[in-house]
Structures are given as structure tokens and as C-alpha cells.
Amino acid sequence: MHLQEVLCHFSFSIIIFMTQLKNDRFLKALLKQPVDRTPIWMMRQAGRYLPEYRASRKDAGSFMDLCTNPDFACEVTLQPLDRYPDLDAAILFSDILTIPDAMDLGLYFETGEGPKFKKVVRTAADVDALPVVNTADRLSYVTDAVSTIRRELNGRVPLIGFSGSPWTLATYMVEGGSTKDFRHVKGMMYSQPEVMHQMLDKLARSVIDYLNAQIKAGAQAVQIFDTWGGVLSHAAYQEFSLKYMQQIVDGLIRENEGRKVPVILFTKGAGQWLESMADTGCDALGIDWTTDIGNARRRVGDQVALQGNMDPSVLYGTPARIREEVASILESYGPGAGQVFNLGHGIHQFVDPEHAKAFIEAVAELSPQYHK
């Protein structure tokens, strides 16, 4: 590193340290510390339901052009915060498939069909050929985006970094895109379990490097998205998904800038497995709407905070119905710390932004009574 670079890094770190976090409700709730009201953010809060996002996307070009340009990524990350001042966290705008893309599998997007890969990974030789991804070498556009967003946030709210889970990444890499039946990836898992384990280990090591790089660049909490862990059997989930999330939790930087960096695990459809997820030593679990949050709290609330869990489809209801659902989830969790309000999955593209506003405002207005 040249002297100039060193100085630049040094002064940049100073700036980060010097910027007081004005709203730390989200970080406190993840650590089960008292807050004045339940913090809220929405998965996929920077997304197609927002007209300003669609405009930026048009300017940027493709979806990946948006992800790989730190200025555009920063712009769209901040959009929901500007529109909804009650949001308590920003989340890095990026895709979960950056790591497989950096493994040279050739990520691309076809309109209406979701992500696809030019190369699929199905044999022992394919897995042998996969590199462990070094973020500094291959994914600096992500850490650059983190630094840029962090600077532009200027302490407004904390910034969440994230990654896909090894199992979830593997499903796309083996299938070559989205899938309904998980035929090839489960076929590999059941017929060549050692090959699958080798692949998941390479992914876990890549994710550790990736999330630690995000933390060093300024991410103040990280979430692991295990979108497809819930399609596994209870036993296969432990062996092929949770085991590698455990490896990641064990390998993460847990404190930075004098603060704990909370880790959130989110497996969609994992309501039956919360206990084993909590045992990984993560700080919080994301839960979906199939689990009653009060029941989840009784099961694992002593160990972890809970984030969730309104069905995103409730946002198709009237503002009054949305408010009623928010009230019911707050009531189910009950008084005291340890809850972060969110949807149980990403917000849908067809939702009216005014309904998202009703949702966020309902949480801000109805939750203080649970924190007296």
C-alpha cells in the first residue's frame, strides 16, 4: 500500500469513528437492549415497488450495472430512508449471487425469469474447479458500495451487510438459476454428499471473507439469507445448510468500531428449527409469517432477538388491515426488548408505496407502549 493510500484509509476510518450513530435502535434491539420503540426495516426495501428505484435502474442499465456501481448502489440504498423517515436501518443494495458470479459462473438476468448462470456446477470436477473467492480481488465493488453508503448515511441509521447462505447459493449454482423442485441440487446432495459438502465448504469460506470485508468497510450488522434452507428435510437442513451457517458465524468479526456487530440468520420456512439456529451463537433470527412470533419468543427469546415477520402480502390489504396486522404481531411478541419489525420476506414489486408507509408508521406509532 502506498503512503497516500494508507493515509486515505486512516483518515476514512477516523471519519467513520467520529460520526456518531444518531439512531441505534436497530443495533440495540438485536442485542436485546432496551429501546424506545420497536425498530423497523423491510427486506428488499430498496426495490421495484419504488418509482424512484425504477428511475435509477433505468439510468444505470441492467440490474448488475446497478449492483456493481457504488454510486448507484448508494443512491438506491438511501431512497427508502428518504421516503420513510421512520426506517431504522439501511441495507446494502446488492444481489445474493455476487459470490457465484465471482466464481466465474457467468451470472445474468433474463427479464421475467430471474437469475441464471452460464455454467452449472454438477460434478466433482466442477466443484474442484471452483475457487474460494477473495473479496478484495473479485468483489471490491461491494466493499466500495459499503464505504460509499456508510459515508452518505452519515450516522443516520446503521448499515446492514449481507450474503446468501452457502446452501442457498448452491441451489442456484447447481440448478443454473431458480428452481421449483430442486431436482439437481437435491440429487447431488443425496447421490454425491461429499461433493456437495466440498462445495458448501468453499462457499462458506468465501462468505466469511465477504462478510468480514463488508464489516471492515463499515457494515454495522450482517444478515445471512438462507432463502432455500426450508426446502430441506429437518436432518438435511442441519447437515447441508445450518452447519455452514455455523461455520460462518464462527468465522465472523463480531466487534468493530468499538461496537458489537450483530449477526442475523434468516432461513425462510425454518419455523420448526429455531432452537438449533439459535444455538449457532448468532444474535438474532429472522422468521417468516408461518411462525407465531410470540411462540418463537417463548422457544428461543432468551437466547436471541427476533426479526420479522409480517406476510408481505398483507401490504395488498387496506391501510387499516395493515395496521391491525402490525398490532397483532406486536401484541404476540409482547413487552420488552429483542424485537426488530420486518416483513417475513422481501417486499413485493406490486405493493403500493403508500401501503408500505402505512406499515412503517403503524410500527412507529403502536410499538412505544411495549417499551415502557
Contact positions with a second copy (CB under 8 A) in 210-239: 230, 232-237
Position 3 contacts a second copy (CB under 8 A): no
Position 170 contacts a second copy (CB under 8 A): no
Position 348 contacts a second copy (CB under 8 A): yes
| Least distance (Å) between residue 272 CB and a second copy | 5
Q: Which segments within the chain are labelled E, that is strand?
A: 90-91, 107-110, 114-117, 159-164, 221-226, 255-256, 259-260, 263-267, 284-286, 305-310, 339-343
Position 113 contacts a second copy (CB under 8 A): no
Angle at 275 between CA 252 and CA 200, to 5 degrees: 45
| Least distance (Å) between residue 371 CB and a second copy | 24
Q: Out of 37, 57, 138, 323, which one is annotated catalytic?
A: 57
Nearest to 308 by CA among 335, 282, 326, 283: 326
SS3 192: coil
Between 258 and 350, CB nearer to a second copy: 350
Angle at 266 between CA 264 and CA 268, to 5 degrees: 170
Q: Which of 291, 307, 339, 367 binds a second copy (CB under 8 A)?
A: 291
Q: Which of 10, 17, 108, 190 binds a second copy (CB under 8 A)?
A: 190
Between 40 and 157, CB nearer to a second copy: 40
Residue reference for cell 465493488:
141
Q: Note if 172 is an active site residue.
A: yes
SS3 231: helix
Between 70 and 177, CB nearer to a second copy: 177
How many Å apart are CA 318 and CA 213, to the nearest integer?
Answer: 42
Stretch 52-91: interaction string toward a second copy, x if CB under 8 A: ----------------------------------------
Q: Out of 49, 53, 84, 172, which one is annotated catalytic?
A: 172
Query: Among 3-11, 39-47, 207-215, 265-273, which window interacts with a second copy (CB under 8 A)?
Result: 265-273
Q: Note if 44 is an active site residue.
A: yes
Compute φ and ψ for 302, nearest 5 degrees. -75, -25
Number of residues binding to a second copy, judged by CB under 8 A: 34
Q: What is the DSSP string of 253-301?
A: --EETTEE--EEEEETT-GGGHHHHHTTT-SEEE--TTS-HHHHHHHHT
Between 155 and 319, CB nearer to a second copy: 319
Q: What is the DSSP string of 43-57?
A: TT-SSTTSHHHHHHH
How many Å apart are CA 298 and CA 193, to the nearest integer?
Answer: 35
Region for 99 from its dihedrals, namely left if φ exceeds 0, alpha if ψ lies in -120 to 50, beta otherwise: alpha
How many Å apart are CA 224 and CA 202, to the nearest integer?
Answer: 16
Q: Which of 155, 251, 281, 317 binds a second copy (CB under 8 A)?
A: 317
Task: Tell me the CA distances in angstroms from 104 to 69, 126, 173, 177, one per residue in order.
Answer: 19, 12, 11, 15
Q: Which of 314, 330, 356, 363 binds a second copy (CB under 8 A)?
A: 314
* Side chain identity at residue 311, one-letter code: D
Between 47 and 344, CB nearer to a second copy: 344
| Least distance (Å) between residue 227 CB and a second copy | 13
Angle between helices 166-175 and 243-251 in degrees, nearest 10: 120
Q: Which of 51, 106, 187, 335 binds a second copy (CB under 8 A)?
A: 187
Position 316 contacts a second copy (CB under 8 A): yes
Position 289 contacts a second copy (CB under 8 A): yes
Between 236 and 253, CB nearer to a second copy: 236
Contact residues for a second copy, defined by CB under 8 A: 181-183, 186-187, 189-191, 230, 232-237, 269, 271-272, 289-292, 295, 311, 313-314, 316-318, 321, 328, 344, 348, 350
Could you give the residue numbers annotated as active site? 44, 48, 57, 95, 172
